[in-house]
Amino acid sequence: MQQRDSILVVIPTYQERDGIAACVTQVLQQDDRVHVLVVDDNSPDGTRDMVLSLAAANPKVQLRSRRHKRGIGPAYLDGFLLALAQNPAVVVQMDADLSHDPRELLALIAPILDGSADLVIGSRRVDGGTTAGWGRWRNRLSKFGSIYARLLLRVRIKDSTSGYRAWRPELLQHLSSSSTVASGYGFQVEMAYRAVQVGGVATEVPITFRERQIGQSKMTLGIAIEAAWIVLRLAVTRNRLPKFRR
């Protein structure tokens, strides 16, 4: 079990062998309190073996190896449960491809550590936030998705699709008692919505999101349509969840 002041970064992977070592190394360099948990969905490219070699060299690196590829949502939920069992001060989620800049990690977790927020979203849509290397179609799709979610779900979050986040463990524990419906990138929207719905304090800090330099993006039109359907389903059902008490 880690110390209570530890920062546990959960990174889901599928076919990320070429970039995972650089990602983990840069994340660990940000602060001595940082630990990394990689959740791999049985990547056929040897990602698991790469992470095992990193873990053998550094006890701050852990691997959760899953038998099947079931989507980013279930991978994160699996990682969150393992993270919570280690009693960290903060749980962070981020991509494996360095689209999320590890150098922005400390700014991301600051509102959790100072007690002002329960969820911090690294946002491309607030002042100072931006994207780099995206085409016009990708930018428009992302902006539309955020506006669509904000209007239908009636939340003030400007970038609910962002996957760079810091969580107060108590809020994650509270949310783990309810089931999620999204398995793809709609999971990000669903978790942000549920966090606000139960009374968690959510805030956004600016980040620069960079298009991956290694490998191929996993975002497709089909994934975007799935996320849109999840938002509509959440807006229609609006299930009442037990309130979170800090």
pLDDT tens for 166-177 read 999 999 999 987
pLDDT in tens, 209-229: 998 766 666 555 666 777 788
Give tens-digit pLDDT for 15-61: 999 999 999 999 999 999 999 999 999 999 999 999 999 999 999 99
From the list 111, 107, 149, 146, the residue with the least C-alpha distance to 128 is 107
Do residues 98 and 181 touch, judged by C-beta distance below 8 A? no
Domain covering 7-237: architecture: Alpha-Beta Complex (3.90)
Section 186-210 average pLDDT: 95
Average pLDDT score over the chain: 90
Question: Mean of the pLDDT values across residues 112-127?
Answer: 97
Single out the residue of 113, 114, 133, 111 nearest to residue 122, CA to CA: 111
Domain residue extents for the chain: 7-237
Q: Are strands 119-123 and 61-65 parallel, antiparallel or unpaired?
A: unpaired
